[in-house]
Amino acid sequence: MNLLRPMLEDDIDAVIALIESHDEDDAEDAQRFYREFNGCYGQFVLEQQGELIGVTGFEAPIGCDQSYWLSWTYIDARHTNRGLGRKMLTELFDYLQQQQGGRKLFVKVSDYVDEEDGPIYAAALHLYESMGFSIEVKHEDFYDVGEAQIILGMWLQQEQESPTVTQQHVAIKFNEIFEIGETEGSWSFGWHERKGGGSDAPFTVEDVQTGMDAVREESARCVFLSFPSNYAGIGDPLIESGFTQAGKLKDYYADGIDEVHYAYTFNQKLLASTPNET
Ligand SMILES: CC(C)(COP(=O)(O)OP(=O)(O)OC[C@H]1O[C@@H](n2cnc3c(N)ncnc32)[C@H](O)[C@@H]1OP(=O)(O)O)[C@@H](O)C(=O)NCCC(=O)NCCS
């Protein structure tokens, strides 16, 4: 690597300060990411004249074949718009492609519009799209009312023609509900699968209803769920329960196996009624 070097634990304070130069809430969330969740594995920093002014990195989702997520990517606010972000990302993409055998890269961006500073992630969105990412999923009202989550994907290798993948019959059990990190009132269900389920859908409308009742108790605004595209009949009980398909991350798990995203927004006026009736 030329510009980037691996991030060390001693860099965390300086990285948090540079993220804070853009957004205090992001700095708090990033702090948790480095100190409690991920550490510095897969993270890189950019220095200029001994000053740490950029950070980027990747995470590898479990169960995926060479797919990666781009993690906290920031250039210190005093140094933006000088081409450093593009150079930093070019080097990271080369590394993922050549050293990690990366197949696809994904990134999440908010469309938050700050009252004073305007759309603060507009430069990131522009940069990502100009470097080859395209929008694959958009979740309206994800972070908060009026603040969507946009997920973009990019091929790190020549895009493959998706093979035909056999549908699997699995049984799925929902085992928890949780509020999605960095959101105000967006919830999801945890689940695990048992292979070799019957020929019916992996779960029933009643199973979904149980989860919806539980998140409604927590005053959830929205529910977001995602599943592999090769699970037979997965959409039926969700659509019947009032969910809509919000797009898919193409070839997320492997070539031919996407991650399909579903969304449900509670009608705030009818929070006391059942999902089917809202
Ligand atoms: C995104 C970020 C890392 C880019 O770093 P950078 O060093 O400014 O990037 P570059 O100078 O290489 O490129 C910035 C590009 O955005 C464009 N840009 C700048 N402000 C913009 C705006 N408000 N709307 C649209 N495009 C904008 C620039 O013109 C440039 O594009 P070009 O190369 O086609 O001319 C930096 O802006 C940043 O830290 N932003 C805040 C944090 C952030 O959004 N991180 C990503 C979260 S997912």
- Residue closest via CA to ligand 1's atom 1 equals 124
- Asked whether the predicted pLDDT for residue 271 surpasses 80, the reply is no
User: To test ligand 1's pocket by mutation, which of 18, 76, 80 has the most ligand atoms within 8 angstroms of CB?
Assistant: 80
Q: Among 224, 244, 149, which Cα is nearest to 180's?
A: 224
Atom of ligand 1 nearest to the CA of 118: 23
- Band the pLDDT of 277: cuts 50, 70, 90: very low
Q: Which residues, judged by CB distance below 6 Å to any ligand atom, belong to the binding site of ligand 1? A: 22, 73-75, 80-86, 107, 109, 121-124, 126-127, 130
Cβ–Cβ < 8 Å for 46, 52: yes
- Band the pLDDT of 278: cuts 50, 70, 90: very low
Does the domain at 4-155 match CATH 3.40.630.30? Answer given as yes
- Residue closest via CA to ligand 1's atom 30 equals 81
Tokens 């035909």 — which residue? 164
What is the domain class of 170-277 according to CATH?
alpha beta
Q: Do domains 4-155 and 170-277 have the same CATH topology?
A: yes
76-85, 191-200, 269-278, range with the lowest pLDDT: 269-278
| CA dihedral over 154, 99, 69, 232, signed as positive or negative | positive
- Residue closest via CA to ligand 1's atom 16 equals 123
| pLDDT tens digits, one per residue of 12-70 | 999 999 999 998 989 999 999 999 999 999 999 999 999 999 999 999 999 999 999 99
Tell me how far the alpha carbon of residue 29 lies from the centroid of ligand 1, in angstroms: 21
- Band the pLDDT of 160: cuts 50, 70, 90: confident
Atom of ligand 1 nearest to the CA of 130: 34
Tell me how far the alpha carbon of residue 271 lies from the centroid of ligand 1, in angstroms: 40
CA dist., res. 169 & res. 230, Å (int): 9
The single-letter code of the amino acid at 21 is S
Q: Output the six-digit token pair for 112.
A: 């938050």
Q: Output the six-digit token pair for 216.
A: 């409604």
Three-class SS of residue 261?
A: strand
User: To test ligand 1's pocket by mutation, which of 126, 128, 154 has the most ligand atoms within 8 angstroms of CB?
Assistant: 126
- Residue closest via CA to ligand 1's atom 6 equals 85
Q: Output the six-digit token pair for 16.
A: 């948090």
Tell me how far the alpha carbon of residue 121 lies from the centroid of ligand 1, in angstroms: 8
Average pLDDT, the chain: 93
Cβ–Cβ < 8 Å for 169, 186: no
Atom of ligand 1 nearest to the CA of 70: 48
**Domain ranges in the chain?**
4-155, 170-277
- Band the pLDDT of 268: cuts 50, 70, 90: low
- Asked whether the predicted pLDDT for residue 232 surpasses 50, the reply is yes
